[in-house]
Homo-oligomer: A and B are copies of this chain.
Amino acid sequence: MPPTRATFDVFFRQVPDQGSFVVAAGLQQVVQALNNFHFDEDDLAYLRSLDLYNERFLTMLRTIKLDCTVQAVPEGLPVFPREPLMTVTGPIAQAQMLETLILNILNHQSLIATKSRRINFAAAGRPVMEFGARRAQGPDSAVYGTRAAVIGGCGSTSNVLAAKMFGIPAAGTMAHSWVESFNSELDAFRAWARMYPDNSALLVDTYDVLGSGVPHAITVFKELAAAGHQPVGIRIDSGDITALAKAARAMLDAAGFPEAKITASNALNEQIITSLLQESAPIDNFGVGEELITSSSAPVLSGVYKLAAIEQDGQVVPKMKLSASKAKVTLPGRKQVYRLYRPGAHTAFADVIALADEAVAGQPLTAVNSDPLSTHKEVTLTDYEARPLLQSVTSAASVDDVFAIQHRSQTWLRELPAPVLRLVNPDTYHVYLAPQLAQLQAGLLRELRGN
């Protein structure tokens, strides 16, 4: 194949959970993977054993040095269908080799960051702890899923390795087995309180929440208080959480522990949390496991990596994929994405995808909807400030603290119109094609269909 340079775009067509936005995540791990990209001798020996590749190709792999430039949106940015989250430009064979690596990482972390954002929106400011490691799809899924969960708003994790790697507070409570391994629940709670007098979160549902768990917790809390310690609270992990939390709250208050917190867990998700809070369940913290770490209601973000352009004889030639499905037509050419704000205001009202060399600088812009299934009615965009979203990525881009990313993400989300952020039936955020890109796509469509 001719040694041309090519540009590939990473984008998705649909948002999980019928939401309107995806929280971009995973860039740091992509950068690390690209910095470390190489073929070991045993990789080459394996490839040689397949009898498919000649020695010239294998030598190229042995000495490969990535010569690709990468642009990407910053981690934590809310992004929308058809917008490039990342573009890779380099020798076509190199850029093609990166497809699976890049998609695997970005699809996974963006999926979990998005789910976490939904769950954290539902929790309405109450702390959400990531509790999913034992149900994650393999070890990496637990570790990097936790990173993404924090980008999406979680404040702590039960995954101690992820806590160590990314500087996340480690959190959790005792196991049911702790309680069972003692002769009585009260003995188990007392032993815990002796070890962790200032960290006394007690798991109260091993036998009977209201009949034994909460009364035993209150006994131990009184002993702790008498010794000058502040009791932390209880965790409920089964049963009717609303009813149990209300009854436990009343018992704790009556016993003089209005400050003791109630943590709820057990297959929680954004719908269940919304329902618990609508019922005024007095829950202070949520522990969310399998439904977050696998995004179980929508476990796939279908990001793709599509050829946008190649260089031929020094010219950039835009490329486009047709398809039997109109929705799968791609956007040709090297591109930039802009977020449009009213001058001086902090609310974004639309995004525009444009060719990289196309001016989106405040002038009136005749644009069309980016959705190939829409009517492509023209609109004129005026009175805006445009901020480019794709930024050049270097190996130094990989040092951001996850909580710094979380905070930036929250700022960017607050800039979006509130109806776009709704968990159920959100408004669609407008993403337009700038005029030169729209014309290029329409022209290529006619040309390819003509062939």
Q: Which residues of A contact B (CB under 8 A)?
A: 1, 4, 6, 8, 43, 46-47, 50, 52, 92, 96, 99-100, 103-105, 107-108, 111-112, 133-145, 159-160, 164, 170, 175-178, 180-181, 191, 196, 199, 205-209, 212, 238-240, 244, 290-291, 294-296, 299-303, 305-307, 310, 319-325, 328, 448, 451
In contact, A136 and B322 (Cβ under 8 angstroms): no
Contacts of A145 in B (CB 8 A): 137-138
A-B contact pairs, 5 of them (CB 8 A): A52-B199, A104-B139, A137-B138, A177-B306, A239-B323
A264 and B408 alpha carbons, distance in the complex (Å): 43
Contacts of A108 in B (CB 8 A): 136-138, 141
Instruction: Tell me the nearest residue of chain B to A175, going by C-beta.
Output: B96
In the assembled complex, how far is the CB of residue A100 from the closest CB belonging to chain B, in whole angstroms? 5
In the assembled complex, how far is the CB of residue A91 from the closest CB belonging to chain B, in whole angstroms? 12
Q: Which of A142, A177, A323 has the most CB of B within 10 A?
A: A177
Contacts of A305 in B (CB 8 A): 134
A209 and B52 alpha carbons, distance in the complex (Å): 27
In contact, B290 and A300 (Cβ under 8 angstroms): yes
In the assembled complex, how far is the CB of residue A295 from the closest CB belonging to chain B, in whole angstroms? 8
Instruction: Tell me the nearest residue of chain B to A206, going by C-beta.
Output: B321
Instruction: Name the contact of A239 in the complex, choosing from B294, B299, B306, B324 (C-beta under 8 A).
Output: B324
Instruction: Tell me the nearest residue of chain B to A179, going by C-beta.
Output: B321
A294 and B108 alpha carbons, distance in the complex (Å): 11
Instruction: Name the contact of A299 in the complex, choosing from B178, B296, B301, B310 (C-beta under 8 A).
Output: B296
A382 and B412 alpha carbons, distance in the complex (Å): 68
In contact, A302 and B324 (Cβ under 8 angstroms): no
Contacts of A137 in B (CB 8 A): 108, 111-112, 136-138, 140-141, 145, 294, 299
Instruction: Tell me the nearest residue of chain B to A312, going by C-beta.
Output: B183
Answer whether A176 and B307 are a contact pair too, CB < 8 Å, given A108-B136, A137-B141, A208-B322.
Answer: yes
A140 and B181 alpha carbons, distance in the complex (Å): 34
